[in-house]
Amino acid sequence: MRKIQPRLLLISCILLRSISGIFSSRSVILSSIEIFNTHELLSPKPIIYFQCHGEKKIILPDVKEKHIVYKFKGVESWQPLAELPDKKCKRCGLYESDSVKSDDIFDEWELCPDEFLDGNCIHYKEKEFNSTFTCTECITIIGAAKPSPKADSSNKKLNLAMAILLGVLTILLVAVGTFGMYKYWQRRRREQHQARFLKLFEEGDDIEDELEF
Ligand SMILES: *[C@@H]1O[C@H](CO)[C@@H](O)[C@H](O)[C@H]1NC(C)=O
């Protein structure tokens, strides 16, 4: 009983973790951004916002200057930027409010959960901006959807082990078969010898019988 309890604890921990992984949303946060361009000529301070199709605008209050790398921890009041559904992309973009015409587009792109390698994803657009996004929950999706390189190598190791095992088994079978054949052949030979000897003996007996008469 004492031995089972820690194992049970471990199993329930793993179960809880995977269950929380299923139910937790895949929050995308903005880790860093650098803009190379602003589109509004009249206003000195641009209003830059992020928006996914059909969702609310998320204004980035600090991003005002060009060629400055703004870094974020992910706990800012306006974070996270978006929640990603399981194995599906969202069309999102970075925009700048325009007081006269329609808002200017830095870029629009597909934000996909499987693009967060190591939980991070860089989106760069020439002459517009460079940004990094983080989605720690997206890693688990990658792990579930595609075999990670680590799992792949362990799979290869498993295959190699299987091949070796099969090879050894084959050799063993061949050896056992050969040994069996050799034993059978030996027995046959012995039997043949015995038969010949017995025949000789019997013939000898016959001769002896004849001699007694
Ligand atoms: C974009 O930002 C990332 C992270 O800060 C950096 O590693 C990368 O070199 C940048 N790319 C360009 C083209 O500025």
List, in order, residues 6 or more apart from 138 with CB less than 8 Å away: 26, 28, 84, 113, 114, 116, 119
Q: What residue ranges line ligand 1, CB within 6 angstroms?
A: 32, 122, 124, 130, 132
- Over residues 23-62, the pLDDT tens digits come to 556 899 999 999 999 887 776 789 999 999 999 999 999 9
CA of 45 from ligand 1 middle (Å) equals: 24
Residue 151 has pLDDT above 70, yes or no: no
CA of 15 from ligand 1 middle (Å) equals: 38
CA of 55 from ligand 1 middle (Å) equals: 27
- Over residues 76-117, the pLDDT tens digits come to 999 999 999 888 899 999 999 988 888 999 999 999 998 998
Q: What is the pTM of this model?
A: 0.57
Residue whose CB lies within 8 A of the most ligand 1 atoms, among 122, 127, 131, for a mutation test: 122
- In the chain, what is the greatest distance between 2 CA atoms, to the nearest angstrom? 145
- Over residues 53-73, the pLDDT tens digits come to 999 999 999 999 999 999 999
Model pLDDT, residue 21: 46
What is the average pLDDT across 141-170? 72
Nearest CA to ligand 1 atom 9: 130
| Residue 211's pLDDT band (cuts 50, 70, 90) | low
CA of 125 from ligand 1 middle (Å) equals: 11
Residue whose CB lies within 8 A of the most ligand 1 atoms, among 72, 132, 133, for a mutation test: 132
Q: Quick one: what percent of the chain has pLDDT higher than 70? A: 76
The three-point CA angle 2-5-8 to 5° equals 155
φ/ψ (deg, to 5) at 11: -60, -45
Residue 133 has pLDDT above 70, yes or no: yes
